[in-house]
């Protein structure tokens, strides 16, 4: 499969209509049977959609990457809308903490593959559509093969390597990429289509440094927010398939759900973009983990213990002190007795409670913030040996079948 495309000139871009043409079908549009006509009647009443638009939805092949907070509402609405083939990519299993926002899953789905859980729920909502499940982690080795089966890609991921990978793969295959992201109370949505407008790299040329943009697991997210952004993504996908609407190509929609304020920003192609600019330098997939600097830089690296190793130390010695920097409500779920409990911001002032002669291990929820705590303690002059709990209390809960 050839993974290349020619960037569109800025002059040509200005001549593009603000109303998108429908995605080109790969075959003649299918007819609708009586059951489908009855089911999608409210769409057929809309002149902007009508019979032809519903046929295009039936003919469409859409890939949703991530069956989590963003993917859940998006998948349900695309299934309800009658998108003919919907693919779901996700390698994770359903956890109890997911149910606060990932409404496609149920309590009975805990510990099941998210892709299977989502696929079954979509099929139960609409038996007339086809579901493809990809229970795998999307990476450079399989992205072209998986994305190449679809007409449009929806980003429901929650990490930077996947976002940049999807952006590059979509550009190589000339596919529209419907983008969404959420953090605490703020959400963003756009459509990146390198041959028609800016790509994700035009907006974010490089990912933020380690610790600058913590995950939802570290900072939380208002449960309804992914639902709002996921619905925007579904709407954009439907509009791109049907055609004739103004899409988010070249625009960034920002939502502050706490203030309920929407901001619509105009985006332009970056002439220096290494992927879609005139002097592009990216022609193939890169190492996205390294590009996003997920490996701890030297100043953050610290030896660590797995949950099993820590449990053994606590039972058999030698003595080890636990420094718990989680939030108070998180400590109520999993308690480490005898630990130094301290908020991250107060940790330096509490270091006098530690004996440098006793090895200590820093504990947080996912094992990331604890690395920054170790660096902060060392910079403050703490001379004791500090370890990190690998994977944080999430890994601890999974290892010992605890609810977190």
231 a catalytic residue: no
How far apart (Å, rounded) are the C-alpha atoms in residues 192 and 251? Answer: 9
Tokens encoding 115: 């892709």
To the query of whether residue 364 is one of the catalytic residues in this protein, the response is: yes
Q: In this structure, what token pair is assigned to residue 346?
A: 């107060």
Peptide bond into 318 cis (omega under 30): yes
Backbone phi and psi for residue 9, each to the nearest 5 degrees, phi listed first: -70, 155
User: Catalytic residue among 216, 273, 276, 292, which?
Assistant: 216
CA dist., res. 404 & res. 393, Å (int): 8
Parallel, antiparallel or unpaired: strands 386-389 and 360-363: parallel
Give the SS3 label for residue 59: helix
At 97, give phi and psi (nearest 5°). Answer: -65, -20
- Whole-angstrom distance, CA of residue 238 vs CA of residue 80: 11
Active-site choice (74, 199, 273, 364): 364
CA distances from 121 to 17, 113, 178, 225 (A): 38, 13, 22, 21
Tokens encoding 262: 């929407």
Distance from C-alpha of 4 to C-alpha of 284, rounded to nearest angstrom: 8
CA distance 187 to 253: 8
CA distances from 200 to 151, 268, 341 (A): 18, 11, 40
Nearest-angstrom CA–CA distance, 26 and 29: 9
Look-up of token digits 């920054």: 372
Catalytic site positions: 216, 364
């Amino acid at each position: 499969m050839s993974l290349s495309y020619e960037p569109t000139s800025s002059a040509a871009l200005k001549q593009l209509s603000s109303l998108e043409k429908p995605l080109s079908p790969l075959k003649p549009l299918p007819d609708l049977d009586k059951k489908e006509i009855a089911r999608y009647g409210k769409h057929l009443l809309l002149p902007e959609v009508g019979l032809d638009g519903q046929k295009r939805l039936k003919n469409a092949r859409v890939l949703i990457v991530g069956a989590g907070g963003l993917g859940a509402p998006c998948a349900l609405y695309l299934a309800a809308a009658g998108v003919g083939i919907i693919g779901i990519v996700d390698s994770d299993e359903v956890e109890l903490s997911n149910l606060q926002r990932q409404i496609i899953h149920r309590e009975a789905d805990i510990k099941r593959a998210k892709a299977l859980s989502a696929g079954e729920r979509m099929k139960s909502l609409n038996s007339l559509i086809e579901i493809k499940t990809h229970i795998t982690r999307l990476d450079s080795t399989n992205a072209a093969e998986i994305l190449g089966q679809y007409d449009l890609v929806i980003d429901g991921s929650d990490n930077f390597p996947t976002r940049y990978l999807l952006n590059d793969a979509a550009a190589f295959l000339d596919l529209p990429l419907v983008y969404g992201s959420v953090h605490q109370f703020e959400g963003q949505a756009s459509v990146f289509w390198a041959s028609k407008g800016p790509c994700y790299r035009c907006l974010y040329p490089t990912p933020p440094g380690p610790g600058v943009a913590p995950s939802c697991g570290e900072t939380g997210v208002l449960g309804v927010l992914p639902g709002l952004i996921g619905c925007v993504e579904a709407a954009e996908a439907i509009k791109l398939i049907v055609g004739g609407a103004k899409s988010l190509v070249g625009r960034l929609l920002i939502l502050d759900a706490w203030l309920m304020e929407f901001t619509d920003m105009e985006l332009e192609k970056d002439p220096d973009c290494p992927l879609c600019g005139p002097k592009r330098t990216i022609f193939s997939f890169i190492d996205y983990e390294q590009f996003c600097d997920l490996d701890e830089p030297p100043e953050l690296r610290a030896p660590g213990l797995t949950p099993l190793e820590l449990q053994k130390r606590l039972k058999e010695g030698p003595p080890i002190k636990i420094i718990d920097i989680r939030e108070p409500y998180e400590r109520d779920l999993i308690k480490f007795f005898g630990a130094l409990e301290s908020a991250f911001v107060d940790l330096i002032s509490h270091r006098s409670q530690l004996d440098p002669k006793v090895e200590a291990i820093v504990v947080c929820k996912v094992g990331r913030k604890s690395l920054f705590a170790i660096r902060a303690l060392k910079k403050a002059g703490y001379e004791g040996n500090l370890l990190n709990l690998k994977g944080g209390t999430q890994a601890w809960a999974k290892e010992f079948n605890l609810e977190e």
